[in-house]
Chains A and B, each alone.
Chain A
Amino acid sequence: ETGVTQTPRHLVMGMTNKKSLKCEQHLGHNAMYWYKQSAKKPLELMFVYSLEERVENNSVPSRFSPECPNSSHLFLHLHTLQPEDSALYLCASSYIPGQRSYNEQFFGPGTRLTVL
């Protein structure tokens, strides 16, 4: 595997279900991100982990819970979601600022989530 991988690629869940999204990066990066992509909206940054510490949480509802057990893996745990949470969830990774002059983020293919 190369780059950034995400599983599952598609997920349909009911509002009462609990599920998890998984992201793995094979690039030796030390920062990882979760984004939400909805139609006709900019990518919304949800969470940032730098050196496995959460450094940003952009007012995301508590029904989304991230976990970063090491610098290569990132999870997004989902529970009691709403239909408006249906979107493409993208994971990205990069070097932390200061190690490179700019923040080039490498994205995974995303998980298409549908909440019924």
Chain B
Amino acid sequence: QKEVEQDPGPLSVPEGAIVSLNCTYSNSAFQYFMWYRQYSRKGPELLMYTYSSGNKEDGRFTAQVDKSSKYISLFIRDSQPSDSATYLCAMSAYNTDKLIFGTGTRLQVFP
């Protein structure tokens, strides 16, 4: 079993849709949960970060962590064509430099 599972997509939605991206994980030691966005021909950039369980909102983006289910989500409201990218979840245990990544979900938002 992989430590982190993420549906690779692709996911294609119309502009304005609500997008839900998800990852599951198996390691209960993970404390930090991150979402990276990677545009074509670019490196990943950190989009959202959450510590332990709970929700975090930043503009149109909401990150949710449910540690009891080992499940994390990223919601994008009012999706825009500029949101078209690959979204990678990543997680780590406390005080470690090792990030464990999912495979990434490719999202396309069409006008």
Tally of contact residues, B, Cβ under 8 A: 27
User: A41, A42, A50, A102: which contacts B92 (Cβ < 8 A)?
Assistant: A102
Chain B 1-32 interface mask (CB, 8 Å, partner A; 1/0): 01010101000000000000000000000001
A87 to B28, CA, bound (A): 31
Tally of contact residues, A, Cβ under 8 A: 28
Q: How far is the CB of A44 from chain B (nearest CB, A)?
A: 9
Which chain B residue shows the least CB distance to A88? B43
A-B contact pairs, 17 of them (CB 8 A): A4-B43, A33-B97, A40-B103, A42-B2, A42-B4, A42-B103, A43-B99, A50-B97, A55-B97, A92-B43, A101-B51, A102-B32, A102-B92, A103-B99, A105-B46, A109-B42, A110-B43
Interface residues in chain A, defined as those with a beta carbon under 8 Å from any beta carbon in chain B: 4, 31, 33, 40-43, 45, 48, 50, 55-56, 90, 92, 94, 96-98, 101-110
